Amino acid sequence: MAEAHPVGFQWVVEAKNRGAKVIHVDPRFSRTSALAHTHVPVRAGADIAFLGGIVNYILENEKDFREYVLAYTNASMIVSEDFQDTEDLDGLFSGFDPSTNTYDQSSWMYAGHEKHGQEHGESHVQRETAAGQQHESHGAPLPGDVPRDPTLQDPRCVYQILRRHYRRYTPEVVERLCGVPQAAFLEVCEAWTANSGRERTTALVYSVGWTQHSVGVQYIRTGAIIQLLLGNMGRPGGGVLALRGHASIQGSTDIPTLFNLLPGYLPMPHHEQHETFQQWIDAIRHPGQKGFWANAEAYAVSLLKAYFGDAATAENDWGYGWLPRLTGDHGTYRQALDMIDGKIKGYFLLGQNPAVGSAHGRAQRLGMANLDWLVVRDLYMIESATFWKNGPEVATGEITPETCRTEVFLFPAASHAEKEGTFTQTQRILQWREQAVEPPGDAHSELWFFYHLGKRIRARLAASTLPRDKGIQNLTWEYGDDEPSSEKVLQEINGYDLSTGDLLSTFNQMKPDGTTSGGCWIYTGVFADGVNQAARRKPGREQSWVAPEWGWAWPANRRTLYNRASADPDGNPWSSRKAYVWWDPAAGEWTGHDVPDFEKTKPPSYRPPEGATGVEAISGDDAFIMQGDGKGWLFAPAGLIDGPMPTHYEPAESMVRNPLYGQQANPTRKVYDRSDNPTNPSPPEQHTEVFPYVFSTSRLTEHHTAGGMSRQLAYLSELQPEMFVEVSPALAAERGLDHLGWAHIVTARAAIEARVLVTERLTPLRIEGRIVHQLWLPYHWGSEGLVTGDSANDLIGITLDPNVLIQESKVGTCDIQPGRRPVGPALLSFVEDYRRRAGLVPGHHTPIVTTHSAEDADGEQ
Amino acid sequence: MGSNSLYGPLDPAPDAGYVDAPPRMGFFTDTSVCIGCKACEVACKEWNAIPDDGFNLLGQSYDNTGGLSANTWRHVAFIEQPVVPSLTDALAAAGTQFLGMPLSDLPGRVTEAPRTDFRWLMMSNVCKHCTHAGCLDVCPTGSLFRTEFGTVVVQEDICNGCGYCIAACPYGVIDRREDDGRAWKCTLCYDRIGDGLTPACAQACPTQSIQFGELDELRTRAAERVDALHEAGVESARLYGHSEDDGVGGDGAFFLLLDEPEVYGLPPDPIVTTRDLPDMWKRAGIAALAMAASVAVSFLGRRG
C-alpha cells in the first residue's frame, strides 16, 4: 500500500501513531513492511490457504460474532442434499462437467430450490462473458424462502459445511503451504479476531494485484467470509476495500469500459440469452425474487431513454433492438488473440499501453501488428504506438517496420489536470475536478474526441437505411458546441423527469413507462436539486465524521453499504462506540450518521407476508438488501463459476503439487490453449525443474503502471532509472548472480533481462519440505521514454479467472540465469529450447483436471 | 557580532542584524514515519526547477540519486538492515571460533546486540540550516546570507563559484553544479515561506515525516514524539541536530533517527569549521606580533 498508494498510506501511519497494530502479509519486504509492526512473508499464490486458515481458526475457536452471523449471514441455511464438497471429490465440487470444465451449479443451491440453481451449460456462457461482474451491485438470483437451522447444528447448514470445508486448513498446513511459521500466522489470527466484534471493527484493504490470479475472485471471497464471520460488514471501520490501480477505476466499472456490462451493472445483452427486451429485463430482476433489483425495468428503460431520447418508445421496446449483442468472449485477452488470428481489423486504445502493461506482451504486440488501423490516444508516444518500429519483435525479425500492415494514429490526449469531470474512488465517492490548465497543442479530452467522432460518424450515416445504423442515428448527441460540457454529461447520467425536465433526485423516481431518463441508475442523485453534488468540498472539520457533504457517493450518497448491519436485529447499535445507523422507535424510522441502507420506515420487526416478492419481501432484519435472500453469503449457492466456497488451488504455474487435493489448479480457469500461449509445466506434469523459481511483479512508488506517465519525466526516471530484478542472497549464490550485474529471466513465453538487486528483503521459504525461492520484478519498463528496459509482462502467459476474466499476472514460474539475454533471432531459439526441455512441444496440452482418479485413468490409457 | 557568533547557542537572525526578526523557521524530519516515496525530492525539484541528477542505477537499495548535491536538495536514503543473529549464534552457525577480529561492514548492518526483525530505514535528508553555518562564514562574495527566518540561502547571481563553502560544510551538503560552477543547496523555500506557504517538500510529504514550522515548537513536538516512541518500545528513537549545544549551535533542520547517525551517512559530531577562527586569528595575531617584534629586535640588534 505504501508502495503503490503512498498518499492513502498516510492514514495507516496515522492509525499506527494512535496505537493500531500494522501487519503486512506479502511475499516481499516492501515499503509497507518497513512501516508495519510485523511483516509476514508468504508464498505468492497461496492466499486462500492462508485466509482459509484464518476461517478455520475463527470457526474452531468459535471466535465468530455469533449474533451477527445468525442474523445477517446465510450460516443457518440448509444446502441441497446433492451438494458434495472438494473434501469429497478430491478438489472438485459436485456438478463438474469435464467437457466444458464448468459446473452445473444446481447442487450448490439451498435445499428444495435446486431448480433455481444455475443450469448446465449456463455456467459456460457466463464464463465467456464474465457475467459475475454484474454482481458488483447485487447478488445472484435466489429464492426468498429457505429452510434454516438457527442452532447451526444441522450437518447440511452453511455453518457446518464451511467448518468441514476449512477443517484441514490448520496452522500446520498454512506453514507447509504458505511458508508462514505458525507463530506468525497465529499472531495475524489473534490480531484480526481481537479487533472485531461489538466494540471494534477491522477493515480489509487490498491492492488490486490481489485480484490478478486464476482464483482472484475467490481470494476476495475468502476475505469477505472472514469479514462476515467477524461482523465487519456494513459497520463503520469495517468492510472489504479495493485500492484501485488508477484514478476512477471504480467509475470505469460503474459506467463501464467493459465489454459485458452496461451502466449500473446492467448486463450487456447476449444474442441467445436476451433475444427480447422482456428476456433481458427478466434476467435482471428475476420475477419472484425479493429485493430492490425487482425495479430493474425502470432502470433499464431510463437508460434506453437516455441513449435514444424520443426515438425510444414502448412500441419499439425503447430501442432495445439497437443495442449491440454479445456473442461470447470479447474480453481484452480474447481480442488480442483475435487480432493475431486476423478477426479484428481496427482498435482504439485510450490511456492504455498493452504493449507493456498487459500480460503476454508479445501476443499483444503481434496482435496490434496485424490490424488495419489502430487509434492510440495518450499523453506521450507510448510503446503501443511504436511497437511496429522499435518493439522487441522488430529485433527478433517477427515484425518488419516496412511491411507491418497496421496504420497507427496517435492522438494527443489531455491529462486529468487539463479537463474537468469526475473521479469515482473505492468508497464509491464521486469527486468533481476543475480544469486547472489548458491542454497543450492539439491535445483534447476523451469527451471532446468522442463527441466529435460521434458527430462525424452520424453525419456519414445520416442517409443510411441499413437497420444496423438505426442505433447510431437515434442516439441523443447534444453536449454543447466545440467543447462539450462535462456537466451536461453528468446531468444525463443523473437522469431527468422527462415530463417536467427536472433532474431526478433518487433512482426511486425512475419509471418503466418512458417518462424518466438516466444514464446510470446508481448515479441518480449526483445532481439532486439541480446541484452538482460531486463538486461539494466542505472540509471534514465543518461537518460530521462521516463527512456526507464531501463529494457524493452512490447510491443515494450512502457512505457505507448495507449499514443496516451496524445495528442489531432489533435495530439498536451493537455498541455505543460503533453506533452508525439505528431504528428510532419514537419517530418510527431509521436514523443515524449515514443514509440508512434500508427502507426508512420499515421496522426491524417487519416480516413479509406469504408469497411476497420484490421490496415487500425484504424482512426487517435482512441487512443485505441487494442479495436475493437478504443475507451475506458465507457460502455462495449461485453466481460463482468456480465454486460456492474458496478452495486452495495452486497457481496455473507452480512447482508445488497441491498438498490439499488431487486437483492442482482452478479447474474452471479460462485457458487459451494455443501454441502461442504456452503454460510452464506444473505437477503432476513432468519437467517442472526447467522453471524452478516463483516470480511476482508489481509496482514501484516512483513509476506508474506501464510507465507512459513516468518514464517520460526526468524527475521520476532518475529515481528508478533501470529495469531490475530482486533476488535473495541465497538465490544469488545458487545462480551466480552479482549485485548490479545482469541477469535474464525466462518463461515459456519470453526471456527478458534486468539488472540484479541482491537484497535480504526477499526470503526463501520452506514449502512442503523444500526451499522455494521467489524473485520479484517491477513491470514499468518498455522501449520508449527517457529510461527504457525489458517488460516484465512479456514473461506472463494468458490464463484468466473464470468469473471476471482477469489475468493471472502476479505469480508464475521462471528460470533466472546470470548475464544478458540473447538478442535478435537467437532470442527466439533460446526460448524455444526452454520450451522443448519443458516438454511444451506441438501436441502438448496442459491437463486441467488432475484429481487422483483422473490421473489413474490417464495411467491406464 | 556577539560573543557566540561563531560558536555556541544563538538566535541567528537577530545576530545577523535583523530587527524584529520573525520566529526562526525550520524542518523536523521524523524518519520513523518516512515511507520512502521520494515525493519530497520530486516536489523540491519541481518548485526550484533543479536539473535531474542523471539516470544511474546505484544499487544502494532504492536510492538512485546518491546523496545531497547541487541537483538534489532533498535526498531520501534507504538503509536495509538484515536480521542480526547474536554473535554466539552466528559463530555457532559458522562453526568458527571467535578470534576477536572486528567485523567490517557498513554502519548499522552489524550490531552488538542481535536484531530479530529485518529493518528498512528511510530518511529524507536536507541542508541543516545551521545556527553557525560554516558555508556562510567563509563566503567571500556575500552570496550566502542569513535570512530573517534564520535560514541560510545562496544568491546564485552573486556566487562566483570559489567553492570555499563546499569545504566548509560539516555535513557535505552544499555542492557546485558542474556545468555552471556555482554553489547550490536547499533554500528552505525562501520564495515560499515569505508568502506564508509551506516549503514544497513538506507540502508534498504524505505522512508528515517532514514537518515545517517555528523551530521552538518543532523541538517541543520532536521531544514528545521521542517520548511516545520510547513508550511504544522503540528505544532506538533519538533526535539529531536539535541541541543548541552541539558543534553547530543546533540545526534549523533536525531529525528523529532510529539508529546511529553514521547509519544514515550523517556525521556523529559535526562541528562548524569556523569554530576555531577566533582562536586561529588570535594565534595568528600573536604570531604576527611575535614576528614583528623579532623583526624589530633584529633591526634594533643590528643597530646595536
In Å, how far is A37's CA from the nearest CA of chain B? 10
SS3 at position B84 = strand
Residues of chain A found within 8 Å of residue B206, distances taken between Cβ atoms: 6-7, 9-10
Q: Give yes or no: residues B294 and B205 share one domain.
A: no
A419 C-beta neighbours (distance < 10 Å), count: 23
CB atoms within 10 A of CB A752: 26
Q: Which residues of B touch A739 (CB under 8 A)?
A: 59
CA distances from A602 to A580, A608, A624 (A): 17, 11, 14
Based on the domain organization, do B142 and B246 belong to the same domain?
yes
Comparing CA positions, the residue from B208, B205, B243 lying closest to residue B223 is B243
Model confidence pTM above 0.90:
yes
Question: Angle A361-368/A383-390 helices, nearest 10 degrees?
Answer: 80
* Residues in chain A within 8 Å Cβ distance of B65: 718-719
In the numeric block, which cell numbers belong to residue B62?
532504492
Mutation pick from A703, A715, A724, A787 vs chain B, by most beta carbons of B within 10 Å, is: A715
Q: Which residues of A have a CB under 8 Å from any CB of B?
A: 2, 6-7, 9-10, 13, 17, 29, 31-35, 39, 700-702, 714-722, 724, 739-740, 755, 757, 759-761, 786-787
Residue A464 CB-half CA count within 13 A = 15
Specify whether B76 is located in the same domain as B193.
yes
Q: In this structure, what are the phi and psi dihedrals at residue A357, rounded to the nearest 5 degrees? A: -90, -15
- Using the structure block, give the residue that is written with the C-alpha cell 500466522: A185
Establish if B138 belongs to a structural domain: yes
Asked, for residue A789, whether it belongs to a domain, the answer is yes
CA–CA separation, A594 and A562 (whole Å): 11
Does residue A154 form part of some domain? yes
CB contact under 8 A, B57 and A34: no
| CA pair distance A173, A186, nearest whole angstrom | 13
CA distance B121 to A845: 48
Q: A215, A243, A271 — which closes off a domain?
A: A243
CA gap A587, B196 in Å, rounded:
50
In a domain, B6, yes or no: no
The tens digit of pLDDT for each residue in A200-215 reads 999 998 988 899 999 9
Around Cβ A795, how many Cβ atoms within 10 Å? Answer: 28
What residues make up the domain containing B301? 274-304
DSSP letter string over B129-149?
-BSS-HHHHH-SSS-EEE-TT
Chain A residue numbers with beta carbons less than 8 Å from the beta carbon of B122 are 31, 34
**DSSP assignment of B212-242:** EEEHHHHHHHHHHHHHHHHHTT-TT-EEES-
Between the CA of residue A851 and those of A93, A438, A476, B164, what are the distances in Å? 12, 61, 55, 77
A357 pLDDT above the threshold of 50:
yes
Chain segment A382-401, per-residue pLDDT in tens: 999 999 999 999 999 999 99
Could you tell me where the beta strands, DSSP code E, fall in chain B? 25-30, 74-81, 119-126, 144-146, 152-154, 175-176, 183-184, 210-214, 238-240, 253-257
Q: Are residues A613 and A697 in the same domain?
A: no
A181, A50 Cβ separation under 8 angstroms:
no
Cβ B80–A759 below 8 Å, yes or no? yes
pLDDT, tens digit, 9 for 90 and up, residues A61-114? 999 999 999 999 999 999 999 999 999 999 999 999 999 999 999 999 999 888
The per-residue pLDDT of chain A, averaged, comes to 94
Q: Name the pLDDT band for A860 (thresholds 50, 70, 90).
A: very low
Contact A6 B37 (CB under 8 A): yes
Domain holding A598, by residue range, is: 563-623
**CA-based nearest residue to B186, from B147, B158, B224:** B147
The Cα–Cα gap between A638 and A130 comes to: 14
**CA-based Rg of chain A, rounded to a whole angstrom?**
27
Does B98 map to a domain? no
Q: Are A822 and A631 in contact (CB under 8 A)?
A: no
Residues B292 and B246 in one domain: no
Please count the other Cβ atoms lying within 10 Å of the Cβ belonging to residue A295.
19
Shared domain check, B218 and B297: no
**B12 reaches A (C-beta below 8 A):** no
Residue of A nearest to B116 (CA): A38
CA closest to A717 among chain B residues: B55
Cell numbers placing A585: 422507535
Same domain, yes or no: B147 and B286: no
> Average pLDDT, stretch A515-525?
97
Contact indicator for B152, B169 with CB cutoff of 8 Å: no
In terms of domains, do B147 and B267 share one?
yes
Residue A286 has pLDDT above 80, yes or no: no
Residue A680 shares a structural domain with residue A607: no
Residues A781 and A706 occupy one common structural domain: yes
CATH of the domain at B75: 3.30.70.20
pLDDT-based confidence at residue A122 (cuts at 50, 70, 90): confident
Is residue A94 in some structural domain?
yes
Which of the listed residues A203, A227, A243 is the one where a domain comes to its end? A243
pLDDT attached to residue B85: 66
pLDDT band at B302 (very low <50, low <70, confident <90, very high): low
User: Which residue in A6, A760, A787 is closest to B206 by CB distance?
Assistant: A6
Contact residues, chain B, for A2 at CB < 8 Å: 35-37
A–B CB contacts, 8 A cutoff, strictly below? 94
Q: Across the interface, do A31 and B35 touch by the CB < 8 Å criterion?
A: yes
Taking an 8 Å cut-off on Cβ atoms, the answer to whether A714 and B52 are in contact is yes
Query: CA angle B122-B124-B126, nearest 5°?
Result: 150
C-alpha distances (whole Å) from A155 to each of A53, A83, A111, A163 are 21, 12, 12, 10
In a domain, B91, yes or no: no
Q: Tell me how many degrees the CA angle A208-A210-A211 measures, rounded to the nearest 5.
A: 75
Distances (CA, A) of A624 to A72, A290, A614: 7, 11, 14
For A706-725, give the DSSP string. Answer: TSTTTTT-HHHHTTS-S-EE
Q: Are B61 and A721 a contacting pair at CB < 8 A?
A: no
Q: Which residues contact A25 (CB under 8 A, 6 or more apart)?
A: A40, A42, A50, A188
Tell me how many degrees the CA angle B231-B235-B239 measures, rounded to the nearest 5.
100
Structural domain contains residue B87: no
Q: A382 in a domain, yes or no?
A: no
Rounded mean pLDDT of B273-286?
80
On whether the CB atoms of residues A486 and A420 are closer than 8 A, the answer is: yes
- CATH code of the domain containing A681: 2.40.40.20
- Say whether pLDDT at B290 is over 50: yes
* Statement: residue A186 has pLDDT above 70: yes
The reported pLDDT for the residue numbered A754 is 98
Q: Which residue of A has its CA nearest to B42?
A: A715
Q: Which of A10, A29, A786 sits opposite B120 (nearest CB)?
A: A29
Angle at A334 between CA A331 and CA A340, to 5 degrees: 140
Provide, for chain A, the percentages of residues in helix, strand and coil under a 3-state DSSP scheme, each rounded to the nearest 5: 30, 15, 55
Query: Which SS3 state, helix, strand or coil, does residue B299 take?
Result: helix
**Res B276: pLDDT:** 77
Kindly state whether residue B163 falls inside one of the protein's structural domains.
yes
Closest CA to B28 of B199, B209, B174: B209
* Cβ-contact A232, A202 below 8 angstroms: yes
Contact B25, B193 (CB under 8 A): yes
Residue in A with minimal Cα distance to B58: A740
Q: What is the mean pLDDT of residues B53-82?
A: 96
Instruction: Return the residue of B nearest to A16 by Cα.
Output: B33
Domain's final residue, options A184, A219, A243: A243
**Grid-cell match 513516468, residue found:** A710
A615 and A684 assigned to the same domain: no
CA–centroid distance for B65 within its chain: 17
Written as one letter, the residue type at A211 is: T
The closest of A719, A708, A741 to A817, measured between CA atoms, is A741
Task: For residue A117, name the pLDDT band (cuts at 50, 70, 90).
Answer: low
- B87 touches B136 (CB < 8 A): no
Are the CB atoms for A418 and A439 separated by under 8 Å? yes
What confidence score (pLDDT) does residue A113 get?
83
Q: Are residues B227 and B286 in the same domain?
A: no
Cα distance between the two ends of chain B: 45
In contact, A308 and A319? CB cutoff 8 Å: yes
- Is the confidence at residue A119, as pLDDT, over 60? no
Which 8-state DSSP code applies to residue A487? H
The verdict on B237 and B294 lying in the same domain is: no
Give the burial class of A861: count Cβ atoms within 10 A of its Cβ; 0-12 exposed, 13-18 middle, 19 or more buried. exposed
Question: Which range, A279-293, A661-675, B90-104, is most confident?
Answer: A661-675
The complex's ipTM? 0.91
All cell numbers assigned to A252: 470505469
In the chain, the amino acid numbered A47 is: D
A711 and A839 share one domain: yes
Statement to judge: residues B175 and B293 lie in one domain:
no
Residue A193 in any domain: the answer is: yes
Same domain, yes or no: B262 and B290: no
B120 at the A interface (CB within 8 A)? yes
- What is the number of domains present in chain A? 3
Task: Examine the domain organization and report whether B278 and B268 are in the same domain.
Answer: no
The string of pLDDT tens digits covering residues A448-490 is 999 999 999 999 999 999 999 999 999 999 998 888 999 999 9
Total of domains in chain B: 2
